[in-house]
Amino acid sequence: MIIQKKPDYLIFADSAKKGEVTDFPDVSRGWGITIDQTASKPPLEWMNGAFNRIDKNMLYLLQQGVPEWSESVTYPANAIIKYNGFLYTALVDNDNANPSKNTSKWRKIQADDFNALPAQKTMNGNEPIYEVGHHFNCTNRPSVNNSPIVTADQFPAHNNKATGWYSMPNGYIHQFGTINLPPIGDYNALNINGTIYYTNIYKILFPRSYPVTQITTTVSLAGQPLHRDKQYNEYGTWVRSNRGEREKEGVVSRSSFDVSVTSSTLGYIPIIHFYSVGC
């Protein structure tokens, strides 16, 4: 069976003229009613009314996503409906059982029913509170008696003095480093009040790739040291970063991050410190 294309959401006979659409006189009997009333010849307005009714019912389901509970419908077990803004699933076959009052027949669907829902559950008394945000399962360890086995070799680390990384028991990986970037070149020049600023963009590879995702990466510029009490004016140099060239599209790189440095000094060699967390 092929996947159907998105419907056009048009309602049959929605723009019909006055008198061209009437409610079908006997939905339960169907076209048999024409035998009694119109010599087995359904009139135009009945035809329009029948198709108009079908399209409106289908559009209602498309708009709602999940149909609202109706006391006139018999629901099978595992049916899902909406009632007073909440979703319910049927525990057993039932009809005319109010979802909010019949807990033996209906169960309110909570956020933790969905494994993929990015929400953390906390309790406020007897009421659950769901804090929505990205979270990741960063651990994957064997267990004994439902307790994870933790060994030292699960937390490797590496440090080559300039960059490094280390693993945590919770599965998170921390990466850090100090990197000398290529000198500022004549790229993306912008004249601001007579001063030319140049912005250069660099792609930085992590010491290691994250197995699951890059969560956050911060970058700062190394400043001038205090030497014999001498102070330096470093106005006019800025650094920004993102988690990959497609971060604005919701795609985060696991192996690199991008850095943009803006300076008015051609040939200036940026030195950056970075710190990143992922898993």
Give the pLDDT confidence of 54-92 residue by residue, as tens digits. Answer: 999 999 988 888 999 999 999 999 999 999 988 999 999
Task: Look at residue 31 and tell me whether its pLDDT is greater than 70.
Answer: yes
- The more confident residue out of 13 and 127 is 13
Q: Average pLDDT of 41-55? A: 91
With residue 43 as reference, give the H or E element that holds it. none
**Range name among 125-129, 243-247, 265-269 with the lowest pLDDT average:** 125-129
pLDDT band at 116 (very low <50, low <70, confident <90, very high): very low
Percent of the chain whose pLDDT exceeds 90: 53
Give φ, ψ of 76 to 5 degrees. -80, 165
Backbone phi and psi for residue 57, each to the nearest 5 degrees, phi listed first: -65, -40
Tell me the pTM: 0.47
Q: Please report which confidence band the pLDDT of residue 167 belongs to, taking 50, 70 and 90 as the band edges.
A: confident
- Of the given ranges (15-24, 82-91, 224-233, 250-259), which has the lowest mean pLDDT? 224-233
Mean pLDDT score across all residues of the chain: 84
Checking phi first, is residue 13 left (phi over 0); if not, alpha (psi -120 to 50) or beta?
A: left
- 98-115: pLDDT as tens digits: 999 999 999 988 755 554
pLDDT of residue 29: 92
Cβ-contact 89, 74 below 8 angstroms: no
Domains and CATH numbers, the chain: 1-65 (no CATH), 85-132 (no CATH), 155-278 (2.60.40.3940)
pLDDT band of 276, cuts 50, 70, 90: very high
**pLDDT tens digit sequence for 202-224:** 999 999 999 888 999 999 998 77
**Residue length of the chain:** 279
Residue 148 has pLDDT above 60, yes or no: no
pLDDT class for 227, splitting at 50, 70, 90?
A: low
CA atoms within 13 A on the CB side of 37: 12
Q: How confident is the model at residue 147 (pLDDT cuts 50, 70, 90)?
A: low
Is the pLDDT confidence value at 117 over 50? no
Q: What pLDDT, on a 0 to 100 scale, did the predictor assign at position 223?
A: 78
Reference 222, options 155, 187, 269, 265; nearest CA is: 269
Distance separating alpha carbons of residues 27 and 24, to the nearest angstrom: 6
Strand partners, 175: 165, 276
Average pLDDT for residues 13-26, to the nearest whole number? 92
What confidence category does residue 132 fall into, taking pLDDT thresholds of 50, 70 and 90? low
Q: Say whether 112 sits in a helix, a strand or coil.
A: helix
Instruction: Determine which helix (DSSP H) or strand (DSSP E) holds 57, and give its type and residue range.
Output: helix 44-64
List phi, psi (to 5°) of 166. Answer: -150, 155
